[in-house]
Amino acid sequence: MLLSKKTQRKAFFLTPILFLSTTIFISPSESFSASSVTPEKINTVFLPSSIRTENITQSYQPNIFTKLFSSVPKRERAVDDISVSFGHRHEYEDRFTILIGRSASGKSTYLRLLAMVEHPVSGNLFLNENEYSLRDTKEESSVSESLAERIHKDPKPIIIDSKPDCFDSRLSTLERILASVPEPRSIECRERFTDDEMNELKQCVAMKFCEVMGLKEEQYLSTPDDLTPSQQYLFGLVCACMESSFENISMNSDKVVKIPCPILLLDELLDKETYDVASKVGRALLSLTEMGGVVIAATHRPQHLTAAAKRTITLSSGRVLAVEYHN
């Protein structure tokens, strides 16, 4: 009997799924343990992440265009001496944070500084308490390139500002996720595992993120265009989780693979969506932060996410105006 391509894909992925054990709850102070059966058993542990800025400031050189057309032509600093931490307080109080403020208040600029795609004029960034000096070196290379070799065990903060492309029906959702996974930087991990074992590890980690985010087996085995709008956002967020975490996995002396939990930066991602779609995505993001990840969402519609977020920070003229914690 001939099977359709979609059925063949499902049968292909079901086999390894049967041999994976998953634990999906973690406290930030503990480790998220799971194991997968490969030719030689691979143990993995998910490590909680944190990020903070210390007196970070950003300004742009004025020009004739900004003077004539900028929404804030008279403001000297886009971000002004912001010191905020994410992922350090107890009970997940600062792991899911909303950034609000009027247009040009500094929300998107602050996210770009957190993602290390811009040089600030002063201040520092800390990933898992490892310091990254980001002061402007006036070099042509981007911050991401100049710091690439220094980031080995820390998650890579990822900006998400749009819904993923879901019109390619040739691959399943899981195949699309795995196709975008970067290779680990750790030489030890690359040398330790065969290609088959590394692919098994990628699939294991991807399915854990799917489970934590609420994508069920039948959903990630279907094509992205078969998913609902909220599930399509979750598909994109799982891709971002893999990009943030997998590249910087490491291994300890006991051959346990350490995977940093992701840091996701949402730049008005859900502002044009309905409350129902946004709230479903918000609940999935809350589960990710309970696992040990960090979510920072800049938005003009905070009512979409306040039910899930634990803190709201208001920015005004590039400065922190107010901080509010939610029950």
Q: Given a cut of 70, is residue 151 above it in pLDDT?
A: no
Per-residue model confidence (pLDDT) at position 13: 40
Per-residue model confidence (pLDDT) at position 86: 95
Q: Given a cut of 80, is residue 258 above it in pLDDT?
A: yes
Per-residue model confidence (pLDDT) at position 69: 64
Q: How confident is the model at residue 192 (pLDDT cuts 50, 70, 90)?
A: confident
pLDDT tens-digit map of 54-89: 999 998 876 666 666 665 555 678 899 999 999 987
Per-residue model confidence (pLDDT) at position 134: 59
- Lowest-pLDDT choice from 1-10, 24-33, 207-216, 237-246: 24-33
- Lowest-pLDDT choice from 90-94, 177-181, 307-311: 90-94
Q: How confident is the model at residue 152 (pLDDT cuts 50, 70, 90)?
A: low
Per-residue model confidence (pLDDT) at position 37: 34
- Lowest-pLDDT choice from 153-157, 232-236, 281-285: 153-157
Q: Given a cut of 60, is residue 173 above it in pLDDT?
A: yes
pLDDT tens-digit map of 89-126: 766 678 999 999 998 899 999 999 999 998 889 999 99
Average pLDDT, the chain: 81
pLDDT tens-digit map of 270-295: 999 999 999 999 999 999 999 999 99
Per-residue model confidence (pLDDT) at position 61: 74
> Encoding tokens for residue 271?
């502002």
Q: How confident is the model at residue 237 (pLDDT cuts 50, 70, 90)?
A: very high
